[in-house]
């Protein structure tokens, strides 16, 4: 899930938006690959990631990769949710590998709801339309195209590993990134990884407002809140009521404010904002950085929903189930609570916090599977962030770059626990309205895709050849 968290008030510096001409060779071949990616349905309901992974394997073999450099993987229980790992061998055995990570699967799309067919790539009005055109087949296509082109060039110093997996978009699907980390870590082990989650943003005028590199993300965890009761006839209400107990618990959770927290990424982010935002927001950020318990500063900064979420753990009820008949007292009432936990938060400790907040023994709290790994802070490694900024100065002159913590979730949560710091790469810019990602008529600007291809190609070349 791509999450661009750029505060528009900060990003006022923009570069002239002259007509863009692609700098990378092979644009026609890239477009053909991208078309194949988008037009292969990889949704969990009607599609197959395995089919797309196999198509990509054909392309890599045609580019000169040996069978030993290509690993197609899946499990018998989920034969359509496979993925692919490709290795481009480096020339320097002392240089640690780098990993390019992406996902092939997309959110389901109902064709009858779309203006255009979701699984046909359509170029119209300066945009590419289709499910996955942005999330995540844009970056996945860029990675695949780059490794195909690099095979014919001089070998980089580092070995470059590409992992395109399935299951990122669906909670209960087979997750390829999780499977690789647990079963074949040798295939993906690297000094660092570049992933989705970063990018950038266009302003209302169509010019770049800013670039973003994702450095860390929250952990997603769902909980069940459940109240039970003997029930009875609705004509004879009773003081103890499962729906009432659950309703009070949901209100308690939805209105609870978790404390402000900072890590290196969010502290740097808010420090940068505090210096450029006008009164009262900028000064309030500075006060909050100095004293996270400053309630008034928190109130001002948190008027922006994104800032509010970046500052803390958030939990909100998203699903409700209750009762079994119109004329009966509910015997069971249940709610799903979706939490986005600040990195380092233990889901079991948070469960204990729920018990305290709800303060009603008639309501039970339990972790809802799957239980993801605990998100950990990612280091602000200058050897990775520095080149991102340096290459951006050429491709996006005058456009500021922010290091940000995502409030969403990506497959980085599975890769980080085996010791690979994962960074959401800048480069592909999103429109202020979100480009229909996960919704109707998903799209990406043709310029954004092509310029992102150029930027990411040059960035990988720099990172793959450390001095």
Q: Do β-strands 363-368 and 314-322 pair in parallel, antiparallel, or remain unpaired?
A: unpaired
For residue 2, the model assigns a pLDDT of 44
Q: How many Cα atoms sit within 13 Å of 246 on the Cβ side?
A: 23
Q: What digits encode the pLDDT tens for the residues 271-281? A: 988 988 899 99
Backbone angles phi, psi at 133, to 5 degrees: -55, -30
pLDDT category at 173 given cuts 50, 70, 90 is: confident
Spell out where 104-142 has E strands: 122-124, 127-129
- The pLDDT assigned to 171 comes to 81
Q: Are 392 and 211 in contact (CB under 8 A)?
A: yes
| Cα three-residue angle 87-90-95, rounded to 5 degrees | 115
Number of neighbours of residue 27 by Cβ within 10 angstroms: 14
Mean pLDDT of the region 342-348: 94
Per-domain residue ranges of the chain: 27-217+375-463, 219-244+313-373, 259-312
Q: Could you tell me the two tokens for 94?
A: 């002392």
**Can you tell me the distance from the alpha carbon of 225 to that of 364, in angstroms, rounded to the nearest whole number?**
6
State the residue for tokens 């999780």: 178
Q: Of residues 419 and 376, which shows the higher confidence score? A: 419
Tokens 């300066």: give the residue.
126
Contact 150, 140 (CB under 8 A): no
- 5-48 pLDDT, tens digit per residue, is 344 334 333 333 345 667 899 999 999 999 999 999 999 999 99
Asked whether the predicted pLDDT for residue 338 surpasses 70, the reply is: yes
- φ, ψ at 332 (rounded to 5°): -150, 140
Between CA 81 and CA 48 the distance in angstroms is 6
Whole-structure pTM value: 0.86
Least confident window among 90-94, 221-225, 265-269:
265-269
Model confidence at 345, in pLDDT bands (50, 70, 90)?
very high
User: Exposure string (b/e) for 96-105, b if CB count within 10 Å is 16 or more?
Assistant: ebbbbbbbbb
Cβ–Cβ under 8 Å, residues 269 and 404? yes
pLDDT at residue number 21: 66
Record the tokens describing residue 156, joined without a space: 């980089």
Average pLDDT over residues 66-93: 97
Tell me the C-alpha distance between 123 and 133, whole Å.
Answer: 11
Mean pLDDT of the chain: 93
**Cα–Cα distance measured from residue 232 to residue 238, given in angstroms and rounded to the nearest whole number:** 9
How many contiguous H segments (helices) and E segments (strands) does the chain have? 14, 19
* CATH architecture of the region 219-244+313-373: 2-Layer Sandwich (3.30)
**Residue 136: exposure state from Cβ atoms within 10 A (0-12, 13-18, ≥19):** buried
Mean pLDDT of 184-209: 94
Judge whether residue 436 has pLDDT over 90.
Answer: yes
CA 54 to chain CA mean position, Å:
25
Per CATH, the number for 27-217+375-463 is 3.40.630.10
């Amino acid at each position: 899930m791509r999450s661009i968290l750029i505060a528009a008030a900060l990003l006022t510096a923009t570069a002239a938006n002259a007509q863009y001409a692609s700098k990378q060779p092979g644009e026609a071949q890239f477009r053909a690959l991208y078309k194949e990616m988008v037009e292969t349905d990889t949704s969990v309901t009607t599609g197959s990631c395995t089919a797309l992974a196999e198509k990509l394997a054909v392309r890599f073999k045609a580019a000169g990769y040996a069978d030993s450099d290509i690993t197609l993987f899946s499990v018998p229980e989920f034969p359509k949710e496979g993925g692919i790992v490709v290795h481009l061998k480096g020339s320097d055995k002392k240089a640690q590998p780098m990993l390019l990570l992406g996902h092939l699967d997309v959110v389901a799309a109902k064709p009858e709801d779309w203006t255009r067919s979701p699984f046909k790539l359509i170029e119209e009005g300066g945009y590419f339309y289709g499910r996955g055109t942005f999330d995540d087949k844009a970056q996945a296509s860029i990675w695949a195209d780059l490794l195909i082109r690099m095979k014919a060039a001089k070998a980089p110093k580092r070995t470059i590993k590409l992992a395109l997996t399935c299951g990122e978009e669906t909670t209960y699907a087979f997750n390829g990134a999780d499977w690789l980390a647990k079963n074949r870590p040798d295939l993906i082990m690297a000094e660092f990884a570049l992933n989705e989650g970063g990018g950038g943003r266009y302003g209302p005028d169509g010019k770049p407002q800013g670039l973003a590199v994702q450095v860390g993300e929250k952990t997603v965890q769902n909980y069940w809140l459940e109240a039970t009761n003997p029930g009875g006839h609705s004509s004879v209400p009773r003081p103890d009521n499962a729906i009432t107990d659950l309703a009070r618990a949901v209100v308690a959770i939805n209105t609870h404010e978790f404390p402000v927290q900072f890590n290196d990424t969010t502290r740097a982010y808010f420090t940068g904002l505090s210096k450029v935002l006008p009164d009262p927001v900028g000064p309030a950020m500075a006060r909050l950085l100095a004293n996270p318990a400053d309630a008034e500063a928190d109130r001002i900064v948190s008027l922006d929903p994104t800032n509010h979420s970046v500052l803390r753990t958030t939990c909100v009820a998203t699903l409700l189930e209750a009762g079994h008949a119109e004329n009966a007292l509910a015997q069971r009432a249940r709610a799903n609570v979706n939490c986005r936990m600040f990195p380092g938060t233990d889901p079991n400790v948070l469960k204990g916090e729920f018990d305290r907040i709800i303060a009603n023994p008639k309501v039970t709290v339990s972790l809802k599977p799957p239980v993801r790994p605990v998100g950990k802070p990612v280091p602000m490694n200058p050897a990775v962030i520095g080149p991102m900024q340096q290459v951006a100065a050429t491709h996006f002159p005058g456009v500021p770059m922010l290091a940000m913590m995502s409030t969403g979730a990506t497959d980085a949560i599975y890769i980080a626990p085996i010791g690979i710091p994962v960074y959401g790469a800048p480069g592909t810019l999103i429109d202020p309205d979100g480009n229909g990602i996960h919704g109707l008529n998903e799209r990406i600007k043709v310029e954004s895709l092509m310029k992102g291809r150029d930027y990411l190609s040059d960035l990988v070349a720099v990172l793959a050849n450390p001095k």
